[in-house]
């Protein structure tokens, strides 16, 4: 084979492998594995249109290749075939067929749009809905529950079966909220309020769902992930109690009531959290004011992930939790290049390991009074 053909063959094979590699039905962010009413409706439409397209492709293919074979010129046959032009019945039938196919695509398409789209007006929001103000930052998510007085980051807890209304805004550039298995996708736009709503139902399994910023936002865009945790009503209530039961900062000057254990390492970490300047950026309800445009670390011990879903924090493995948090604190840029958290220990600082271990122990104790309660954060074994 000549050199160029080899090149073409190899590059085409690589391309097809890459394209096929993107196809999978049950990955954590697969839109082909819908688990809630809105993505289910979108998925049904996709499947319907795909079948219809397949039928059209096969029908056209059969006619095309059939004609090629049937009417191919025979060897040595120099006669010119009889010339015909126009066939009213055939043309009208083809137009009618095309119209029917178009209707079969458009009608279910428009019905799905009406079922899944549209803004929920303020007067239609009920006390039963879960309203969350979502703010996109380069490269993490703030989740604010105005009705519950909860502010958290990167993990959205919702009770199963309720309608969730998200008020979306961006603090800097365009971002896009997308949890393929639960919701559609919508942009977060600077200086413009957007809304996205979705529901879960009795067929939605409780557990962790994976989301991703779906609009290129520079730097660590690919690492701007998040998680949605679908809780039972009871677990959701337990989770919200963890936040609402903490006395706000102004109410008392007593040490945080989050810490029931008197673990000296935890106490040391708590003090270091302020000494190292973490408290200037990160709020912890009852202890640290922080800055509103940095991730709120209240009840951090209940989290399943770290740094916008980049590192796993498995609820049943305290060693991995500690190791991942330490890795982050040692060098956030190594974990998530270009993110905006500074490195607070100089390279080779002899105290770094010890101080980081103490801060990690403190952060992981937040919201966790004992082993069993770590599960309030949602340990679903994945």
Give the footprint of ligand HEC on this chain (CB under 6 A).
139-140, 153-154, 220, 273, 276-278, 280-282, 294-295, 297, 306-308, 329, 336, 339-342, 344, 359, 363
Provide the b/e sequence for 17-49 (b: ≥16 CB within 10 Å). eeeeeeeeeeeebebeebbbbbbbbbbebeeee
Residues that bind Cu ion (CB under 5 A): 175, 213, 217, 224
Contact 179, 230 (CB under 8 A): no
Q: How far is CA 244 from the centre of its chain?
A: 26
In the complex, least distance from residue 253 CB atom to ligand HEC, rounded to whole angstroms? 22
The interface partner of residue 359, options being ligand HEC, Cu ion, none and the CB cut-off 5 to 8 Å by kind, is ligand HEC
In the complex, least distance from residue 317 CB atom to ligand HEC, rounded to whole angstroms? 17
**Chain position whose Cβ is nearest to ligand HEC:** 278
The interface partner of residue 344, options being ligand HEC, Cu ion, none and the CB cut-off 5 to 8 Å by kind, is ligand HEC
In the complex, least distance from residue 382 CB atom to ligand HEC, rounded to whole angstroms? 18
What length is written for the chain? 382
Nearer to ligand HEC (CB atom), residue 242 or residue 282: 282
Nearer to Cu ion (CB atom), residue 215 or residue 355: 215
In the complex, least distance from residue 342 CB atom to ligand HEC, rounded to whole angstroms? 5
Nearer to Cu ion (CB atom), residue 306 or residue 358: 306
Cis peptide before 324 (omega within 30 of 0): no
Nearer to ligand HEC (CB atom), residue 134 or residue 306: 306
Nearer to ligand HEC (CB atom), residue 285 or residue 336: 336
The interface partner of residue 278, options being Cu ion, ligand HEC, none and the CB cut-off 5 to 8 Å by kind, is ligand HEC
Contact 345, 356 (CB under 8 A): yes
The interface partner of residue 151, options being ligand HEC, Cu ion, none and the CB cut-off 5 to 8 Å by kind, is none
In the complex, least distance from residue 217 CB atom to Cu ion, rounded to whole angstroms? 3
CA distance 141 to 159: 19
In the complex, least distance from residue 188 CB atom to Cu ion, rounded to whole angstroms? 8
Nearer to ligand HEC (CB atom), residue 109 or residue 277: 277
The interface partner of residue 295, options being ligand HEC, Cu ion, none and the CB cut-off 5 to 8 Å by kind, is ligand HEC
The interface partner of residue 179, options being ligand HEC, Cu ion, none and the CB cut-off 5 to 8 Å by kind, is none
In the complex, least distance from residue 308 CB atom to ligand HEC, rounded to whole angstroms? 4
The interface partner of residue 164, options being ligand HEC, Cu ion, none and the CB cut-off 5 to 8 Å by kind, is none
Contact 258, 314 (CB under 8 A): no
Give me the residue label for tokens 């220990």.
Answer: 345
């Amino acid at each position: 084979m000549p050199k160029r053909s080899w090149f073409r063959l190899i590059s085409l094979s690589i391309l097809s492998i890459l394209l096929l590699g993107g196809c999978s039905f049950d990955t954590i962010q697969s839109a082909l594995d819908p688990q809630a009413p809105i993505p289910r409706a979108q998925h049904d439409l996709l499947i319907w249109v795909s079948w219809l397209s397949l039928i059209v492709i096969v029908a056209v293919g059969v006619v095309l290749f059939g004609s090629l074979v049937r009417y191919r010129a025979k060897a040595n046959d120099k006669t010119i075939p009889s010339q015909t032009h126009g066939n009213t019945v055939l043309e009208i039938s083809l137009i009618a067929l095309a119209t029917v196919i178009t209707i079969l695509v458009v009608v279910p398409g428009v019905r799905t749009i009406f079922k899944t789209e549209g803004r929920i007006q303020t007067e239609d929001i009920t006390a039963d809905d879960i309203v969350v103000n979502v703010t996109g930052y380069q490269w993490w998510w703030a989740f604010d529950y105005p009705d519950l007085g909860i502010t958290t980051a990167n993990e959205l807890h919702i009770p199963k079966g309720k309608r969730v209304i998200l008020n979306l805004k961006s603090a800097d550039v365009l971002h896009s909220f997308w949890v393929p298995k639960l919701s559609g996708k919508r942009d977060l736009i600077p200086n413009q309020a957007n809304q996205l709503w979705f529901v879960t139902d009795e067929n939605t399994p409780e557990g962790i769902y994976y989301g991703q910023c779906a609009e290129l936002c520079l730097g660590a865009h690919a690492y701007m992930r998040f998680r949605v945790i679908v809780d039972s009503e009871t677990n959701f209530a337990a989770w919200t109690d963890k936040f609402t039961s903490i006395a706000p900062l102004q109410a008392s000057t007593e040490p945080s009531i989050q810490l029931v254990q008197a673990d000296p390492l935890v106490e040391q970490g708590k003090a270091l959290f302020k000494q190292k300047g973490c408290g200037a950026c990160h709020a912890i309800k009852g202890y640290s004011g922080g800055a509103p445009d940095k991730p709120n670390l209240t009840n951090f011990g209940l989290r399943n992930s770290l740094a916008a879903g980049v590192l796993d924090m498995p609820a049943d493995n305290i060693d991995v939790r500690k190791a991942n948090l330490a890795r982050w604190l040692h060098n956030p840029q190594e974990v998530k290049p270009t993110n905006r958290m500074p490195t607070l220990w100089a390279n080779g600082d002899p105290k770094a390991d010890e101080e980081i271990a103490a801060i990690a122990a403190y952060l992981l104790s937040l919201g966790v009074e004992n082993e069993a309660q770590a599960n309030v954060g949602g340990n679903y074994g994945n």
